[in-house]
């Protein structure tokens, strides 16, 4: 599966001083194939090939987590920033459930 990930989006979940080239190299050596890095007007796009057995890497969050592990393994300072989810608000709707176990 081929996916494209913006560097700026990746860095929302990856705190590091590593260059785009470093990130692409370490990801390619460890988990996925970064086929190319394309320069856009004000960002970079990683063209990533993910094998079907690594569904955990089929999102920018998964790639950021893998990049954090790969970079830190090489001694490059990095930190994975977990996503923040909004709390689910109770809107006053209830769904009563009754379980009857009649042997």
User: What residue ranges do the domains of the chain occupy?
Assistant: 2-80
pLDDT at position 87 is: 75
Rounded-to-integer distance, Cα 13 and Cα 80, Å: 6
List the structure tokens of 59.
């999102």
> What's the mean pLDDT when you consider all of the chain?
91
CATH no. for 2-80: 3.30.56.10
85 φ, ψ (degrees, to nearest 5):
-110, 140
For residue 97, the model assigns a pLDDT of 80
DSSP state of 27: H
Residue 78, phi then psi, degrees to nearest 5: -160, 160
Question: Pick the residue with more confidence: 57 or 31?
Answer: 57
Q: What is the pLDDT of residues 38-86, one digit of tens each?
A: 999 999 999 999 998 999 999 999 999 999 999 999 999 999 999 988 7
């Amino acid at each position: 599966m081929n996916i494209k990930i913006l560097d700026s989006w990746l860095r929302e979940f990856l705190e590091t001083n590593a260059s785009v080239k470093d990130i692409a190299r370490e990801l390619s050596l460890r988990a996925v194939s970064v086929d190319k890095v394309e320069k856009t007007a004000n960002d970079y796009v990683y063209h990533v090939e993910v094998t079907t057995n690594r569904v955990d890497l089929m999102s920018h969050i998964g790639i950021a987590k893998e990049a954090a592990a790969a970079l830190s393994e090489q001694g490059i300072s990095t930190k994975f920033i977990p996503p923040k989810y909004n709390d689910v608000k109770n809107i006053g709707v209830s769904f009563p459930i009754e379980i009857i176990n009649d042997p």
